[in-house]
A and B are shown apart, each in its own frame.
Chain A
Amino acid sequence: MSDTIIQIKDVNKWFGDFQVLKDINLNVEKNKKIVVCGPSGSGKSTLIRCINRLEEHQQGSIIVDGNELTEDTKNIEQIRAEVGMVFQQFNLFPHLSILDNCTLAPVWVKKMPKKDAEDLAMKHLEKVQIADQAHKFPGQLSGGQQQRCAIARALCMEPKIMLFDEPTSALDPEMIKEVLDAMVNLAKAGMTMIVVTHEMGFAKEVADEVIFMDEGMIVEKAATNEFFANPKNDRTKLFLSQIL
């Protein structure tokens, strides 16, 4: 149990009358890679947005790295600094250069000296292979490059956990691979990752566990091989038959 870094217990969440999350229970251990899949509207994104409290859950408890997520704001900002997030729409800051995008949070949130932050940013940009674009603006980059920059930006905060919210869904097919490669490298480096994605190839390659969600519930949760080789639930079977 000591390795558990995220502990989600009996979490319920409603948007108005509509219940998006129903009794979610999930433990994530350190250095594990979890892939969350499921049809759209099943609550996958909401679930991972709850982990860094971009959405608030109404019932149950979420404990991230020993801190429970509550209304206590100060706590939240610390936790968010430890949990990196990559979005479907990249959400780079368009008014800042790529390098400034990466150094902004380390300098102002972690109070890192500007020079160190730049070195760190260049290191991570190097890793995702866009170091040569560092002085351009996001608007000048392709979708794949922007998404890799977003990954580098999240990594610059040196997070313990990385959340990916459908990172390849807004990309052209030929750009998906470059982003997935960056994610695979990251996974191999031992990062704890929770990835919402429809890329089953990626899931097979890196995931330790796959979770299938439908209608706000975790329908099936199994080790990767098990999940793909013989899914138990009918809904999962149907989903896999459609997507593979």
Chain B
Amino acid sequence: MNNINFLKPDKSNLNLFLILGLSLVFISIFDVFLSSFFKINATGFLPTSISFLLPLIIGFIGLHFIRIEYSGIRRLDEINKNFNNNNFNAVLSLLIIFIIIKSIPPVLSWTVIDANISGHSKEACTGDGACWTYIKVWLRRFIYGLYPNEEQWRINLSFISLLALGSVGYFATEKFKKYLTLYYVVIYPIIAFLFIFFFISGGPVFFDFSYGIIASVVAIIIGFFVPNKFKLYYFCFVPLAVYLSLNLFILPEEYVELGKLEGLNWVETGAWGGLALTFIVSFFCLIFCFPVGMALALGRRSELPFIKYTSVVFIEFWRGVPLITVLFMSSVMFPMFLPEDFFLDKLVRVIIAISLFEAAYVAEVIRGGLQALPRGQYDAAKSLGMGYWKMHIFVILPQALKLVIPGIANTFLALVKDTPLILVVGLLEIAGMLQMAKTNPKWLGYSMEGYVFAAVVFWIICYAMSKYSYNLEEKYKTER
């Protein structure tokens, strides 16, 4: 047997060092595990400070022993390279492991072991842990806001239908793939709006024009049999023209009125809330701010001074003011400038305000992408005879947008997380409902559970969005 040098472990005594090192690391971790899970201090006989630091010292020595270069064991080499490549990193790795072990028991006991979920009132919560009963009792409010209980099926139906309609992209056949962009950019938002307008809002007044709508739906169906050459023009003009002419000129008032339905009970937007409102506000702000942002980004790079400086002033204005003041303005100041009989719902005003606010950010993100494109792309497009719009639609924007997917995802995530601010104008989405629930005299003192719940919900939404943005990046990657 060779001489053993404990200060410089080497390959010749591999097994000895391995056994010694691993058992020391194991002992140190086990000690921390015992003390945090079972409150047993195995080294209690030692002075406090030494007993506190002992696991770290033992683990450190253990890691020192297993730090053998080119040991020939792949797993060990990987560990050494990634967690244990010098003394400092060994200590950091140990500390992180200890912190994770230490933090598991309190989290676990608060969320699960000592928590209560049964019962329907505060009295059911007897343990030291979280009171999930509170979330359970308030769940409807957190999801639907103050929307009447017996009408909540309307929200469910709308969202499920919209989800189903939104997923058609996955099932579309090759033949319909080319219409998908049009569908998602134009038709889907309109359908979503109609659902929200007729279903979630309800009320009889909105059904006044049903003959016009029926006629234009018929016109759209006929449109699929129109020759390809005229299809685009047909879809752009005919259904709208049919609808307008039926309502304005041809049919007398009574005929139009014949289509009137009583509709569903009207629920004013002030009563909407919770998660449903978060979704509604986020969805519409996302789809409005994107095209506006794109137009602003192009405008800012325009050679026409009027367009350029209008865009610059617009962007700098919205980037310069805090969202909270924008929301206040939209709900308090803005109606003062409107004519007396003109009414714009508070929710609509808020959506417009947030959209414009975020559009300024989106514009700057997209501008970054536009500037990253080499000038040669513009030259090539121009040399093929493309004008400004063709060049941007087919060559510049697809590339620029692809480049800025991470930036746009970032802005959109920020937008979703900014929506709780609409609390200040009295619209209570999920965080707003939380605020309301925690001041309810029957349920004082459970704000922690509420915030954890909201955090988890937002995290799920945002994580899904960021995952989706990674997918998009993968999908449009062409530099292989």
| A94 contact from B381, B390, B479, Cβ within 8 A | B479
Per the bound structure, the CA–CA distance linking A73 and B391 in Å amounts to 14
Chain A hits for B224, CB < 8 A = none
Chain B hits for A139, CB < 8 A = 478-480
The residue of chain A having its C-beta at the shortest distance from the C-beta of B393 within the complex is A108
B385 and A81 form a contact (CB under 8 A): yes
Q: For residue A16, give the distance in angstroms from its CB to the closest CB of chain B.
A: 18
Known contacts A92-B380, A108-B390; A78 and B385 CB within 8 A of each other: yes
Known contacts A78-B385, A139-B480; A108 and B394 CB within 8 A of each other: yes
A85-140: which have CB < 8 Å to B? 85, 87, 89-95, 104-105, 108-110, 137-140
The residue of chain B having its C-beta at the shortest distance from the C-beta of A81 within the complex is B385
B384 and A105 form a contact (CB under 8 A): yes
| A52 contact from B383, B402, B479, B480, Cβ within 8 A | B383
* Of A83, A90, A104, A150, most B-chain CB atoms within 10 Å: A104
Chain A hits for B384, CB < 8 A = 80-81, 104-105, 109, 153-154, 157
**A77 on the B face (CB < 8 A):** yes
The residue of chain B having its C-beta at the shortest distance from the C-beta of A86 within the complex is B383
Chain B hits for A153, CB < 8 A = 384
A95 and B402 form a contact (CB under 8 A): yes
Q: Mark B234-258, 1 if CB is under 8 A from A, else 0.
A: 0000000000000000000000000
Q: Mark B369-381, 1 if CB is under 8 A from A, else 0.
A: 0000010110111
**B81 on the A face (CB < 8 A):** no
Known contacts A104-B394, A108-B390, A139-B480; A93 and B385 CB within 8 A of each other: no
Known contacts A93-B399, A95-B398; A140 and B480 CB within 8 A of each other: yes
**A84 on the B face (CB < 8 A):** yes
The residue of chain A having its C-beta at the shortest distance from the C-beta of B379 within the complex is A54
Per the bound structure, the CA–CA distance linking A187 and B380 in Å amounts to 22
B476 and A91 form a contact (CB under 8 A): no
Chain A hits for B374, CB < 8 A = 89, 91
Chain B hits for A87, CB < 8 A = 376, 379-380, 383
Per the bound structure, the CA–CA distance linking A110 and B380 in Å amounts to 16
Known contacts A85-B383, A137-B480, A153-B384; A91 and B394 CB within 8 A of each other: no
**B386 on the A face (CB < 8 A):** yes
Chain B hits for A109, CB < 8 A = 384-386, 390
Q: For residue B34, give the distance in angstroms from its CB to the closest CB of chain A.
A: 56
Chain A hits for B227, CB < 8 A = none
Q: For residue A116, give the distance in angstroms from its CB to the closest CB of chain B.
A: 14
Q: Mark B388-401, 1 if CB is under 8 A from A, else 0.
A: 00100011001100
**B387 on the A face (CB < 8 A):** yes
A80 and B383 form a contact (CB under 8 A): yes
B383 and A95 form a contact (CB under 8 A): no
| A83 contact from B376, B383, B386, B402, Cβ within 8 A | B383
**B231 on the A face (CB < 8 A):** no
Per the bound structure, the CA–CA distance linking A94 and B402 in Å amounts to 11
Per the bound structure, the CA–CA distance linking A150 and B384 in Å amounts to 11
Per the bound structure, the CA–CA distance linking A77 and B382 in Å amounts to 8
The residue of chain B having its C-beta at the shortest distance from the C-beta of A106 within the complex is B384
Known contacts A87-B376, A108-B394; A77 and B399 CB within 8 A of each other: no
Chain B hits for A85, CB < 8 A = 379-380, 383
* Of A87, A105, A138, A140, most B-chain CB atoms within 10 Å: A105
The residue of chain B having its C-beta at the shortest distance from the C-beta of A55 within the complex is B379
Chain B hits for A80, CB < 8 A = 382-385
Chain A hits for B387, CB < 8 A = 73, 77
Per the bound structure, the CA–CA distance linking A77 and B377 in Å amounts to 16
Chain A hits for B381, CB < 8 A = 93
Q: For residue B476, give the distance in angstroms from its CB to the closest CB of chain A.
A: 7
Chain A hits for B376, CB < 8 A = 87, 89-91
Q: For residue B226, give the distance in angstroms from its CB to the closest CB of chain A.
A: 17
Per the bound structure, the CA–CA distance linking A84 and B476 in Å amounts to 29
| A54 contact from B383, B390, B476, B479, Cβ within 8 A | B383
Q: Mark B302-325, 1 if CB is under 8 A from A, else 0.
A: 000000000000000000000000
Chain B hits for A150, CB < 8 A = 380
A32-85: which have CB < 8 Å to B? 49, 52, 54, 73, 77-78, 80-85
Chain A hits for B377, CB < 8 A = 91, 93
B478 and A95 form a contact (CB under 8 A): yes
Per the bound structure, the CA–CA distance linking A95 and B479 in Å amounts to 8
Give me the 9 closest cross-chain CB pairs, A-B, nearest first: A81-B385, A91-B380, A105-B384, A91-B376, A85-B383, A139-B479, A137-B478, A80-B385, A109-B385
Listed by A's residue number, 30 A-B pairs whose Cβ atoms lie within 8 Å are: A49-B379, A52-B383, A54-B382, A73-B387, A77-B385, A78-B385, A80-B383, A82-B385, A83-B383, A84-B383, A85-B380, A87-B376, A87-B383, A89-B374, A93-B377, A93-B380, A93-B381, A95-B402, A95-B476, A95-B478, A104-B394, A105-B385, A108-B386, A109-B386, A138-B478, A139-B478, A139-B480, A154-B383, A157-B384, A157-B385
Known contacts A95-B399, A139-B480; 8 additional CB pairs below 8 A are A54-B379, A73-B387, A82-B385, A84-B383, A93-B381, A105-B384, A108-B386, A137-B479
Binding site for A on B (CB under 8 A): 374, 376-377, 379-387, 390, 394-395, 398-399, 402, 476, 478-480
